[in-house]
Structure 1
Amino acid sequence: MRSGGVNPNATSYNILIAAYCRAGRLERAMVYLEKMIEDDSCKPDHVTCNILVSAYAQRHMYLESLTVLNRLANMGCKLTDYPYNCLIGGFAKAGDIPRALCLLETMIRNGFVPNVFAYNPLIYTLCSSGDVGQAYELYEEMEDDGCVPNKATYNVLVKGLCKVGKPEQASHVVSKMIQNGSLPDPSAYSAVIGSLCKVNEVNKSCDFVQEMISRGCISDAVSYSSLIKGLKDLALLDQADILFRRMRERNLSVTITAYNTLMESFCSLNDMVKAMKLFRTLCDKGLEPNLVTFKVLFAGFINREQYDEASYILQMMLENKFQPDESYWSTLMGGFFEKGKFHKAKSLFLFMIEQRGTLTALAYKALLDGFLRKGMVNKACCLIDQMRKKGLLPHVAICIAWIHGFCHRGKFDVGRTLIEDVKGKGFLPDASTYNTVLSGFNGVGDLLSVHALVEEMLNFQLAPAIEPSNSLIRSIFSRGKLLPAYELSLRLIDAGTRLDCSVCNDIIDGLFKADRVNEALKLLEVIQHQFSRDKVNHE
């Protein structure tokens, strides 16, 4: 520009400085600030200051930003309140309250009147850090200076005061807020309600709600329901009960949510008498119970093992056109089994089929678990056959649990079949599951099944249990099958099964007598190696 005979003015410099700032090249922007200062034809103005202060502040370089502000102010540059607001907010958010407050004083001393953009970040940070007292002093100061707080100011301060246990002061702030034409957020008046309840000021809490209602801030039904929930969340159930009765005495509208909240509280305290009394009251008032109502009562009775009462709630759900999912039925069936009420459990199962037409594995599982727990093995066997035909075998983990359950009841053949079911799902049962069935067959002397399972386990590189393995080797050896007994012994030892010394000695002795010296020495070497390995692992 100068080469063309035109001197740059402040606008030219500001455009150039702003461009460098947008590009993130603040060092180049500062070079042109220096040139601008040295230029006799123009000087930095408030626009220059705003651009640079904002650029540094956006990058959280607040000290550099403050340096620019102070330098331009000391040069006599005419400033606006923007850079002060920008930096006060920046320092406040960074947690540097002392510097932010110092800058606020400087701003006032330089003739500027701080607005909400200066005060709000300070009040927010002070409340967040727990220094609500100083935040409240700033709030009073801004009112004295004629600065009208906005909704954000009030909400932050109200929540902060409630957090430190000053609900009455908070309610006063809410009143001032309404007078100034702002309505509090639901979270703000809920904070006041909860805080008053915490200090057992239920009456004042009710008065506060009434004031909010009378001012048209909130509806009565929603407000009282929120209040009851707040009391319940604070474990102030006695106060919630008092408030609930007061609502009814005043003929105030009570929502189903309020009933559900209080019923849930009574259920959590195992006071099902009061919970059911509320249920009958809401029905008498013409309110329709919803799914939450029944869910709360059902869970309450189940937790108290009052299964007949839970069954009644289930029936009520159906009468009110709600369809319980299978978890309700399954839980109730399990409860009836626990109490020895087998006929009720089975009747419930048949009723489920009647209601739903088809059932998932979850419902069958509940009945089968009950049969197993009570030793009704034949019924369990029939049921699992039905499940298999319907393709309803449940998750692998449940099948494995059933394997152990059936084997515990002496139904090893069912356990064996379930192993095949698990494999059919693409999973391999662990050695413990196999050995449960294996030990069962061994216990009843079914060595053919033992042999088949041992071979299967070895093929899957699983270690068969010691006792069945010893029994099998003895059986093979006693039938004169020396080499098969020898070969199987090697495979078992290699898989990690520790055979009895007497079994191994008999085979070694037989091999020597049969002039199978190499085989005898091989087995002896393998046994010694296993013994050494076990000794190292034990140490």
Structure 2
Amino acid sequence: MVLFNSSSVSSFSSLMKSGGKQRRWPLSPHKGKWQQKFNEQQAMETLMREAEIFEKQRQNPDKPHLLSALINTFNIHECEPTPYAYSFIIKTLAKNFWFDQLPPVLDHLEEVERFEPPEFFFVDLIRIYGNANMFQDAIDVFFRIPKFRCTPTVHSLNALLSVLCKKSAGLQMVHQILLKSHAINIRLEESSFHILIATLCKIKRIGYAIELLNYMPHCGYNADVTLYSLILSSMCEQGEFSSAEVMDFLGEMQNTGFTPNAGERVSVIKVLVKDGRGMDALDVLNQMKLDGIKPDIVCYTMVLDGIISAGHFQKADDLFDEILVMGLVPDIYSFNVYINGLCKQNNVEAGFKMVSLMEQFGCKPDVVTYNTLTGMVCKIGQVRRAQDLVKEMGLKGVQGNLHTYRILIDGLVSKGEVMEALVVLEEMLSRGFIPRSQTFDEIICGLCEKGLVCEALKLLEQMATSDATPGTRVWEALLLSLGFKSSLLETTSTILEDLIWNSPG
């Protein structure tokens, strides 16, 4: 068997004679790639060290350009710059706000290099320009992508849309961007619609967001529950949509097969209650339960308030009983709403019983609770009971507020207890509460009717120090008490008013 022919032997002999120095076979492809990777790694480490030096010399106006460092470093290590190296350079320039060096880097990448940069390279660059509010530069990079031997897709378009949608200046450019991107065959995808609709909701252009939502099927996409939820929540929060419009959108959402979550139902209920549609709010609550969503006490309280405001008191009683049956613990707001409903029915005794129930639940009545009951007992003429209730407040550590004093003073005046009302007024002033002019007027007139003119004049003086303006009826009451004839009342009271209004200081 012949292993070598004459030509092979001759070649082998020549190689042996030369000592193997004239190797004709190329290096192993595996060994070549390994060497290239090693050189690139060494170049990259050197470039990073160079960048650190440049950053320390940030204030030096003669600092060298990082592009030169990039080229020189990779030349020294006998390898070509990589996309990662360019990405590092761009991020370093952006971190140090050396944006003036970015154009030469991009020009060199476009005109000199031959590799194909990955699209994420341009996505990062678009975001860098966007964070610096350099919107036009971000747009220029997007439409320049093909010149870098890269094909732009919806990923880079979405990056640009996200950047532009953050600022009003960028929003104005979105329409043109969409038109131009369509011209270069970049189609909007579901992710693009999410960006645009979320932005429209954020800037409170909900109507446009709904139009875009309805346009999605024309592009071959169906809106998901996230978009419906976003728009529904925005409609409820914005406050410019009627409850009818909110309910229409809720119905559309449900017709598409999406079930609103608990938070979205609560937002809808809030809109309905605010619009005086308490029974519709009750319907939404009942639908929640049918859909397997257990309403919490906040949700029940809003509906309870809505149906009480609508005058459906029997429904309110049933709903409060349901709260207890469901095992929910009413909070202070729930009790106050229900007590207010009982007082609207003039069922004061039931209101007081409810206070006892509150304490059994460990829920301490607050100033709203007491004010509601105080107002009701004053309304039915039980002023003494109102005074006792206010004393009970103090004993239980609940401080009365401005509304407490107003309720009590009005009740005392209506019963003719003017001197007691004056005592309450003085306590009110000592606590720093400023009464309405009407409150002063009521007491002054009441004092005049009882012939207590001196007290009335003192209160008038105190009224002036409180920056309150007496009404015409006050002057009439004072003049009558001082013996003026009724025919002179109108003229004299007018003169006194002018003196008060036009006096210095």
TM-score scaled by length of structure 1 = 0.53
Aligned equivalents of 1:242 and 1:313: distance in 2? Answer: 26
Note closer, same or farther for the CA distance 1:292–1:142 as it changes in structure 2 (3 Å cut): farther
The alignment status of 1:326 with 2:326, answered yes or no, reads no
Aligned equivalents of 1:239 and 1:290: distance in 2? Answer: 24
3-state SS of paired residue (1:122): helix
Aligned to 2:257: 286
Aligned equivalents of 2:141 and 2:162: distance in 1? Answer: 9
Aligned equivalents of 1:153 and 1:89: distance in 2? Answer: 24
The CA deviation at 1:106 is 6.8
Aligned equivalents of 1:88 and 1:276: distance in 2? Answer: 61
Aligned to 1:311: 282
CA displacement, residues 164-184 of structure 1 (integer Å, 9 cap, x when unaligned): 444643544778999599996
2:330 is aligned, of 339, 359, 366, to 359
Aligned to 2:493: none
8 A contact 1:272–1:300 mirrored in 2:
yes
Note closer, same or farther for the CA distance 1:313–1:247 as it changes in structure 2 (3 Å cut): same
Aligned equivalents of 2:129 and 2:110: distance in 1? Answer: 18
Alignment of 1:59-138 (within 5 A): 81-90=47-56, 102-104=64-66, 107=69, 115-116=85-86, 117-126=88-97, 135=102, 138=105
Aligned equivalents of 1:207 and 1:299: distance in 2? Answer: 42
Aligned to 2:217: 248
1:139 is aligned, of 98, 102, 106, to 106
Residues 421-430 or 177-186, more deviating: 177-186
Moved over 6 A (4+): 108-114, 173-178, 180-187, 460-463, 465-468
8 A contact 2:297–2:328 mirrored in 1:
no
Aligned to 1:32: none
Aligned equivalents of 2:375 and 2:222: distance in 1? Answer: 54
8 A contact 1:326–1:362 mirrored in 2:
no
Note closer, same or farther for the CA distance 1:106–1:165 as it changes in structure 2 (3 Å cut): closer
Aligned equivalents of 1:106 and 1:291: distance in 2? Answer: 59
Note closer, same or farther for the CA distance 1:380–1:124 as it changes in structure 2 (3 Å cut): farther
Give the residue type in structure 2 aligned to 1:398: V
Alignment of 1:357-436 (within 5 A): 358-372=329-343, 374=344, 376=345, 378-391=346-359, 394=364, 396-399=366-369, 401-402=371-372, 405-406=375-376, 409=379, 410-419=381-390, 421-423=392-394, 425-429=396-400, 433=404
Aligned equivalents of 2:291 and 2:151: distance in 1? Answer: 48
Aligned equivalents of 1:209 and 1:303: distance in 2? Answer: 49
Aligned equivalents of 1:428 and 1:379: distance in 2? Answer: 25
The CA deviation at 1:258 is 1.0
Unaligned runs of 5+ in 2: 1-44, 76-80, 434-438, 447-504
2:232 is aligned, of 250, 263, 267, to 263
Aligned length in residues: 383
Aligned equivalents of 1:302 and 1:203: distance in 2? Answer: 41
8 A contact 2:90–2:102 mirrored in 1:
no
Alignment of 1:31-70 (within 5 A): none
Aligned equivalents of 1:209 and 1:418: distance in 2? Answer: 77
Aligned equivalents of 1:388 and 1:154: distance in 2? Answer: 65
Note closer, same or farther for the CA distance 1:261–1:204 as it changes in structure 2 (3 Å cut): farther
Aligned equivalents of 2:364 and 2:247: distance in 1? Answer: 36
CA displacement, residues 394-448 of structure 1 (integer Å, 9 cap, x when unaligned): 553424543663465244345345435534543444698468647745864789x
Alignment of 1:223-234 (within 5 A): 224-234=193-203
Aligned equivalents of 1:302 and 1:397: distance in 2? Answer: 24
8 A contact 1:431–1:462 mirrored in 2:
no
Aligned equivalents of 2:129 and 2:207: distance in 1? Answer: 26
Give the residue type in structure 2 aligned to 1:318: K
The alignment status of 1:200 with 2:185, answered yes or no, reads no
The CA deviation at 1:282 is 3.5
CA displacement, residues 226-247 of structure 1 (integer Å, 9 cap, x when unaligned): 4322232234445433332232
Unaligned runs of 5+ in 1: 1-78, 214-219, 472-538
Q: How many percent of aligned residue pairs carry the same amino acid? A: 15
CA displacement, residues 94-127 of structure 1 (integer Å, 9 cap, x when unaligned): xx59555x44477479777794444323234549
The CA deviation at 1:290 is 2.1
CA displacement, residues 164-207 of structure 1 (integer Å, 9 cap, x when unaligned): 44464354477899959999699836515735785335854995
Aligned equivalents of 1:411 and 1:278: distance in 2? Answer: 50
3-state SS of paired residue (2:196): helix
8 A contact 1:232–1:240 mirrored in 2:
yes
Note closer, same or farther for the CA distance 1:274–1:418 as it changes in structure 2 (3 Å cut): same
Aligned equivalents of 1:206 and 1:106: distance in 2? Answer: 34
CA displacement, residues 211-236 of structure 1 (integer Å, 9 cap, x when unaligned): 588xxxxxx65553343222322344
3-state SS of paired residue (1:199): helix
CA displacement, residues 438-480 of structure 1 (integer Å, 9 cap, x when unaligned): 7745864789x969x99xx89x9999x9999xx9xxxxxxxxx
Aligned equivalents of 1:103 and 1:389: distance in 2? Answer: 78
The alignment status of 1:158 with 2:127, answered yes or no, reads yes
TM-score scaled by length of structure 2 = 0.55
Note closer, same or farther for the CA distance 1:283–1:461 as it changes in structure 2 (3 Å cut): closer
Aligned equivalents of 2:181 and 2:251: distance in 1? Answer: 26
Aligned equivalents of 2:323 and 2:352: distance in 1? Answer: 18
Give the residue type in structure 2 aligned to 1:297: V
The CA deviation at 1:319 is 1.3
Give the residue type in structure 1 aligned to 2:50: Y
Note closer, same or farther for the CA distance 1:222–1:324 as it changes in structure 2 (3 Å cut): farther
Give the residue type in structure 1 aligned to 2:260: P
The CA deviation at 1:365 is 1.0
Note closer, same or farther for the CA distance 1:266–1:182 as it changes in structure 2 (3 Å cut): closer
Give the residue type in structure 1 aligned to 2:375: G
Aligned to 2:36: none
8 A contact 2:153–2:186 mirrored in 1:
no
3-state SS of paired residue (1:259): helix
Aligned to 2:269: 298
